[in-house]
């Protein structure tokens, strides 16, 4: 197994069978070796600085009905909100003063947030904070819309493909959504020039090892600049409300494999990982992640952006908790980097 890990580190590529062997490996010594190799690669590329991104959850309204997601259209039990442009700018001001140089606007596919509104909001952030990167995570849009946002100043876009297997995609999403269209969006984003992020949830209902191998092979070939990977966590008011959460161990294993596959990729230690495991954030970093995304949303709205149960949004997971985050990172030998953290 160590031979496969060395091979991935040197050639950044394995066969499907080789990935499958690593994914099914349970040997503690091998898994420690995998993490250690991934960590070494991260340190060689980025040193011990962890990039911070200020996450602003702009709307929890969504036209989609993804079976796993707590803000799906069909969930009538949550209070919906959408932030005003001025509130988003206020969040950016607060974040800028704290040292953030990347703002991430994430939200459901809210029909009220028109392309024009998004374009103007991006332009307003860009005008006031020209030294900051703007990341969008607003779902599937037309190519023209992506182009407009890019011209207005957005630099990065996060759109997880969720699973690269057609049948599994259909199990997770309603009929009107398609994997083909999601992949088309990812292609557009890359062509336009965005630093593009994709990724998956680990442990969604029906996910098999073969599906994960398909995800690894897709990401190996697509070469995204950012890779978002976190465990699935059930939300009680969704069709998957009683399903078990994904495994922290498998998430960490995949994270390390992605690091060896793409040494310079920006890989967050996700909120879902921090939610599921007490030291999840640190574990992600020790497995090869180099980004964290503290929550910059207005405090009174955070509890309404409930993608899954018990989602962490306060303490070290919050922008105002940066000192706590810095302390946690220090205990494992890392520090916060306030650089923009672009892909190179």
Cα dist from 51 to 96, 175, 269, 336, 341, whole Å: 14, 37, 11, 6, 6
Q: Which stretch binds ligand SAM (CB under 6 A): 29-37, 101-109, 282-290, 292-300?
A: 101-109
Q: Under a CB-based contact definition with an 8 Å cutoff, are residues 131 and 92 in contact?
A: no
Q: Residues 35, 42, 137, 165: which binds ligand SAM (CB under 6 A)? A: 137
Residue 86: burial class (beta carbons within 10 Å; 0-12, 13-18, 19+)? exposed
User: 180: closest CA among 194, 193, 163?
Assistant: 163
Residue 101 marked as a ligand binder: no
Q: Residues 35, 37, 106, 163: which binds ligand SAM (CB under 6 A)? A: 106
If the CB atoms of residues 18 and 162 are measured against ligand SAM, the closer one turns out to be 162
If the CB atoms of residues 69 and 252 are measured against ligand SAM, the closer one turns out to be 69
Q: Residues 68, 81, 150, 258: which binds ligand SAM (CB under 6 A)? A: 68
Q: Residues 8, 34, 52, 69: which binds ligand SAM (CB under 6 A)? A: 69
Q: Residues 122, 172, 233, 274: which binds ligand SAM (CB under 6 A)? A: 233
**DSSP 8-class letter at 319:** G
Q: Which stretch binds ligand SAM (CB under 6 A): 6-14, 124-132, 229-237, 259-267?
A: 229-237
How far apart (Å, rounded) are the C-alpha atoms in residues 133 and 53?
9
Contacts with ligand SAM: how many residues (CB under 6 A)? 19
Residue bearing tokens 């070796």: 33
Does 235 participate in binding ligand SAM (rule CB under 6 A)? Answer: yes
Site for ligand SAM in 1-60 (CB under 6 A): none
Write down the least CB distance from residue 226 to ligand SAM, Å. Answer: 12
- Region label for 196, one of left (φ > 0), alpha (ψ between -120 and 50) or beta (otherwise): beta
If the CB atoms of residues 40 and 237 are measured against ligand SAM, the closer one turns out to be 237
Q: State the Cα angle at 232 between 226 and 235, rounded to 5°.
A: 130
> Which tokens hold the place of 154?
């957005």
Write down the least CB distance from residue 158 to ligand SAM, Å. Answer: 7
Residue 66 marked as a ligand binder: yes
Residue 62 marked as a ligand binder: yes
Write down the least CB distance from residue 46 to ligand SAM, Å. Answer: 24
Per-residue x/- track, 239-278, ligand SAM (CB under 6 A)? ---------------------------------x------
User: 104: closest CA among 154, 61, 139, 144?
Assistant: 154
| φ, ψ at 198 (rounded to 5°) | -135, -175
Cα dist from 168 to 66, 113, 142, 179, 207, whole Å: 12, 29, 24, 10, 7
Write down the least CB distance from residue 135 to ligand SAM, Å. Answer: 11
How far apart (Å, rounded) are the C-alpha atoms in residues 261 and 288?
11
Per-residue x/- track, 143-172, ligand SAM (CB under 6 A)? ----------------xx-x----------
23: which residues sit within 8 A by CB, 6+ positions away?
209, 212, 213, 250, 253, 254, 257
Site for ligand SAM in 285-314 (CB under 6 A): 307-308
3-state secondary structure of 316: helix
If the CB atoms of residues 49 and 206 are measured against ligand SAM, the closer one turns out to be 206
Annotated binding residues for (3R)-3-methyl-D-ornithine: 137
- Interface ranges with ligand SAM (CB under 6 A): 68-69, 106, 108-109, 137-139, 159-160, 162, 201, 230, 232-233, 235, 272, 307-308
Annotated binding residues for S-adenosyl-L-methionine: 162, 182
């Amino acid at each position: 197994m160590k031979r496969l890990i060395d091979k991935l580190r040197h050639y950044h590529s394995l066969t499907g069978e080789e990935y499958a062997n690593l994914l099914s490996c349970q040997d503690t010594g091998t898994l420690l070796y995998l993490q250690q190799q991934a960590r070494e690669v991260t340190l060689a590329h980025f040193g011990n600085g962890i990039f911070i991104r200020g996450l602003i959850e702009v709307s929890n309204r969504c036209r989609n009905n993804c079976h796993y997601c707590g803000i799906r259209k069909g969930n009538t039990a949550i209070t919906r909100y959408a932030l005003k442009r001025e509130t988003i700018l206020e969040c950016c001001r607060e974040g800028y003063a704290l040292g953030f140089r990347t703002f991430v606007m994430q939200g459901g596919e809210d029909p009220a947030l028109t392309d024009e509104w998004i374009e103007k909001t991006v332009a307003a952030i860009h005008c006031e904070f020209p030294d900051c990167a703007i990341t969008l995570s607003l779902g599937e849009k037309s190519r023209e819309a992506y182009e407009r946002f890019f011209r207005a100043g957005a630099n990065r876009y996060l759109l997880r493909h969720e699973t690269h297997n057609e049948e599994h995609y259909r199990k997770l999403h309603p009929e009107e959504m398609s994997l083909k269209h999601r992949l088309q969006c990812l292609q557009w984003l890359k062509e336009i020039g965005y630093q593009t992020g994709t990724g998956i949830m680990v442990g969604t209902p029906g996910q098999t090892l073969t599906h994960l191998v398909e995800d690894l092979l897709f990401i190996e070939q697509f070469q995204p600049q950012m890779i978002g990977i976190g465990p699935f966590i059930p939300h009680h008011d969704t069709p998957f409300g009683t399903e078990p959460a994904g495994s922290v161990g498998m998430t960490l294993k995949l994270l390390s494999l992605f690091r060896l596959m793409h040494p310079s990729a920006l890989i967050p230690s996700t909120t879902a990982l921090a939610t599921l495991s007490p030291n999840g954030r640190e574990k992600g970093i020790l497995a090869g992640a180099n980004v964290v995304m503290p929550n910059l949303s207005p405090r009174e709205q955070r509890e309404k952006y409930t993608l899954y149960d018990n989602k962490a949004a306060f303490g070290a997971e919050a922008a105002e908790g940066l000192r706590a985050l810095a302390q946690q990172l220090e205990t494992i030998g890392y520090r916060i980097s306030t650089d923009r953290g672009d892909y190179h």
